[in-house]
Amino acid sequence: MSWRKDAVSKNVPKVDLQAYNVLVAGGFKAGKTRLWKEVMELFYPNDPDAGLLLAFEDGYTSWELESIIDMHNRDWKFFKEVVVKNLVAEAAEKRIAKVLGIDTIDRMWAMAEEYIIDTYSKKYAKKFASLQDITESVKELNGHTLTKQEVWQQIDILKKSGYGFFWLCWTKEKETTTIDDVKFQSIELSLSKSGRDIFESQAHLIVTLFNEVVVIDKEGNELEENKKTKGGKDVASKFHKSEVMMYFRPSNYISIGGGRFTDLPDKVDYSAKNFLEVFENAVKGQLKNTSATVEELKIAQEQDRDVQARVAVEQVEQVQMSSDELKKSIAESMQKFDYNQRKELIGPKFMELLGDLDYRKSEDVSKLSETLKYIEQLQV
């Protein structure tokens, strides 16, 4: 059998929002959550549950939303053990949500950081103050890398299960210096460098919402330079108007934008309708040599996505079974030791490797395997 038959295949660009990671960046009250809501309503008009918002912040309170999970009153453990686990199970049985809105990834990242700090504080019986504290205190660990791995592991599980993403995030104004030592102000993501590394690199489409101000005179004419007094002194106009624009490509002051599409405008007026027009034109621009229609591709790709979801959930279940088997073996091995031996020899190892005396709480297969190996060596 030729290796090419199994290894080489043709890729047809995906046509559904469900297949993509979309990153929507903006400042305060820029319209991030509103854009999410209205895009979901337009793209899935007959399926109100297609868009599920994971609200890590409470900016959704003024919006009427059909499907939302209040995450800002929960913690990371709830996210990974309840939300992720059950979304994967739904994807394998009967998918309900199609696109997950993360509002915002800034707060999501902060929650994961808190989880890492708490987990490793318990593991090493020391109260770490920050991720940097972990990095500086434990030679073989890097707190930022641990957070990066933890967040992306959950995102990757959901992505492999067939979910699309709308990552909503904050922006900030930053002074940037060019290689020629010239300084300028730019709009960038507020997220930490570790967060930017994965979310910007893994986004298929990035759009920045920016409130542009246009200065006008009293007749409504746009001014390109300041008004002047008779003496030639610049004076400010009393009139201006502002409007939110969606930037799909970087500009001279907005550094966030772009994507894996060739047909993208520089900027368009803010609206869900305009966003979807940009998305649909971008997708069609990639379909150069495909005879199937967008609707035909959507149906076929949905079927493929369901098959992949079933494979993904089987892999998750396999890991779960492995951890259960390891716990069972640990329990059986523990029976060969008396109370004092468990307390003095095994207990400290539980804290070192698993961060808790109750090994049954851990789902880390590699750490459970290491723990079992240690206990078995004690028996020799």
**Helix (H), strand (E) at residue 242:** strand 239-247
Bridge-based pairing of strands 164-177 and 21-26 is parallel
Return per-residue pLDDT of the chain as tens, 380 residues.
577 877 887 777 787 888 899 999 998 888 999 999 999 999 999 999 999 999 999 877 777 778 899 999 999 999 988 999 899 889 888 889 999 999 999 999 999 999 999 988 987 888 999 999 999 998 888 999 999 989 998 998 899 888 999 999 999 888 777 787 777 778 889 998 888 889 998 999 999 999 876 666 666 666 666 667 666 676 666 656 678 899 999 888 888 888 888 889 999 999 999 999 999 988 888 787 777 777 777 777 777 777 777 777 777 666 655 677 888 888 888 888 888 888 888 988 888 888 888 888 787 777 888 888 888 888 65
Check if the beta carbon of residue 53 is closer than 8 Å to that of residue 69. Answer: yes
Q: Encoding tokens for residue 352?
A: 């070192």
Beta bridge partners of 291: none
Residues 380, 366: Cα–Cα separation, whole Å? 22
Q: Sign of the C-alpha dihedral, residues 314, 320, 321, 323?
A: positive
Other Cβ atoms closer than 10 A to 288: 8
Q: Give burial (CB, 10 Å; 0-12/13-18/19+) of 68.
A: middle
**Helix (H), strand (E) at residue 70:** strand 68-70
Q: CA of 3: how far to CAs of 6, 7, 79, in Å?
A: 6, 6, 41
